Structure 1
Amino acid sequence: MPPEIDTLALVLLVLAGLTAGWVDAVVGGGGLVQLPALLLMPGLTPLQALATNKVGSIMGTSTSALTYYRRVGPDLRTAAPMAIAAFLAAVGGAAVASRIPAAAFTPIILVACVSVGAWTLARPALGRTTALRWEGRRHVAAALGLGLLIGAYDGVLGPGTGSFLVIALVGVLGYAFLPASAIAKIVNFATNLGALAFFVPHGAVVWPLGLVVGTANLVGAYIGARMAVARGSAFVRVIFVLVVGALVIRLAWQTADQYWI
């Protein structure tokens, strides 16, 4: 453990990991809590925080993915090609993470989140039941494209990836919220693994912190996944709207700070 990190900072990091694991398991977006907590740890560079965040996230997503797999049975025809594409894109995204400023993405993501949040609120029936828009090759092609796009984003930045996956699976492919969240966990596991495939050999991970936050994330993920399965798509939809709202507020704050004169 880095010597400059005190007990209070560790306690706050554990709480952030628990919260992030729960949020990620239900609908994604736990990085909105976990990554900022790591960025506040003294002595960590932004790249180390990003890499260490992936350790915590992959421990949580592996737990929630397994829970969903046993209890929901996610559609592997979608999850498998999407996860493979996302893994490869995340490796490439991580390779350029230190070269692309996060501020370049913020305004675009903000507009997308506002649009998605408004669209979800305006359509109460959205995501209640699964009604796939395509079958066969067109469905696989769409899943591959979405996996590439979101996987690259997760490699470069990360926060909100789980929510973006749910957005894509519900809004583009036509899944209900609960099966979309189940598939998203498998794909998110792949994106975390892809990013770590780059970060670990380059020594960017601070392992003691990663294991601490990862253990907390794992516990939160187990609780969140079981709660989501028990309460169904309506519950996941409510949490989704709240998380997207939080993402919009955070991105709006970042954008205002960036252009404030």
Structure 2
Amino acid sequence: MLDIGLEALLLLLAAGFFAGFVDAIAGGGGLITVPSLLIAGVPPVQALATNKIQGMFGSGTAAFSYAHSGLVDLKAQIGPALLAFCASLLGALAVSVLPTDWIRLILPLLLIGIALFFAFRKGPSDMDRTARLKPVLFSLTAVPVVAFYDGILGPGAGSFYMIAFVALGGYGILKATAHTKLLNFASNVGGLVGFLLVANPLWAIGLAMGVMQVLGARLGAKMAMAKGARLIRPLLVVTSVALALKLLWDLF
């Protein structure tokens, strides 16, 4: 059994809250929680599995909040959500045939890449635009691709869902964020089911972080609906870079 000290536990609880807050607004909560789990000493595959437990709480809470506010029709998203579940399940199963060291190498690069994207991109508005893909084609292409990534690795999947909805689906950023949450929840569940077959998640830590995710997600969803997603960009950029540097320092 992995021994997690008090300082590491407090770090993980804080990471859970901040990740839930960030993920509800702009996606990318896993960019905070997975590196935090690795920094706390959790082995890579076990960190990914544990991340799925706590991630379900945040994405599920945010999905409910947005649906309750009328920003997304959950019934209309059942089909895409099932695709996300299945694709993420396959992604999680694929982890068992890959070496774990690649996770520590790729994650810092992914963190820096997403930080640069959010730092320099022009922020999309809340207005819908013409979709580049029809809803059915979007569901059959973009959704399973992001969901498979969510299963095999995960961090940044919420951001990738949101970017896909904006760039390909023509959604405004608030509408995109709202629709992202159910898919993110479905791929978290699918990923967890897959990981249960190939890894041993830390249930106590995952559930404790999940409680903090709920608190952060409720606050984040309220702020997103009130002010939009732009306020989170500096926090996401700074946090991503800081965690990437920490992981690179530990690696080399």
User: TM-score normalized by structure 1?
Assistant: 0.82
Q: What secondary structure, in the 3-state scheme, does the structure 1 residue paired with 2:168 have?
A: helix
Match of 1:24 in 2: 23
What residue identity is the alignment partner of 1:54?
K
Q: Is the 8 A contact 2:92 2:195 kept in 1?
A: yes
Match of 1:54 in 2: 52
Residues 111-149 of structure 1: per-residue CA shift (max 9 Å, x gap): 68746764x32xx5x3330124258xx321123211111
Residues 213-259 of structure 1: per-residue CA shift (max 9 Å, x gap): 1111111111111111122xxx31342x43664587479759988xx
In 1, Cα distance between equivalents of 2:160 and 2:94: 20
In 2, Cα distance between equivalents of 1:7 and 1:109: 26
Q: Is the 8 A contact 2:93 2:198 kept in 1?
A: no
What residue identity is the alignment partner of 2:194?
F
Partner residue of 2:230 out of 232, 237, 249: 237
In 1, Cα distance between equivalents of 2:52 and 2:248: 27
Partner residue of 1:191 out of 187, 191, 210: 187
Matched, 1:142 2:134: no
Match of 2:178 in 1: 182
In 2, Cα distance between equivalents of 1:108 and 1:21: 19
Segment of structure 1 superposing worse, 246-255 or 221-230 = 246-255
Matched, 1:218 2:211: no
Task: Measure how far apart 1:185 and its partner are.
Answer: 0.4
Match of 1:127 in 2: 125
Match of 2:36 in 1: 37
In 1, Cα distance between equivalents of 2:2 and 2:138: 47
Residues 178-235 of structure 1: per-residue CA shift (max 9 Å, x gap): 110010000000110110111124452111111111111111111111111122xxx3
Percent identical pairs in the alignment equals: 34
Q: Report the RMSD for the aligned CA atoms in angstroms.
A: 3.0
Aligned residues: 248
Segment of structure 1 superposing worse, 152-161 or 68-77 = 68-77
Matched, 1:82 2:74: no
In 2, Cα distance between equivalents of 1:86 and 1:146: 10
Match of 1:163 in 2: 159
In 2, Cα distance between equivalents of 1:115 and 1:215: 30
Q: Is the 8 A contact 2:31 2:111 kept in 1?
A: no
Match of 2:11 in 1: 12
Extract unaligned runs of 5+ from structure 1: none
Task: Measure how far apart 1:74 and its partner are.
Answer: 1.1
In 2, Cα distance between equivalents of 1:12 and 1:255: 15
User: TM-score normalized by structure 2?
Assistant: 0.84
Extract unaligned runs of 5+ from structure 2: none
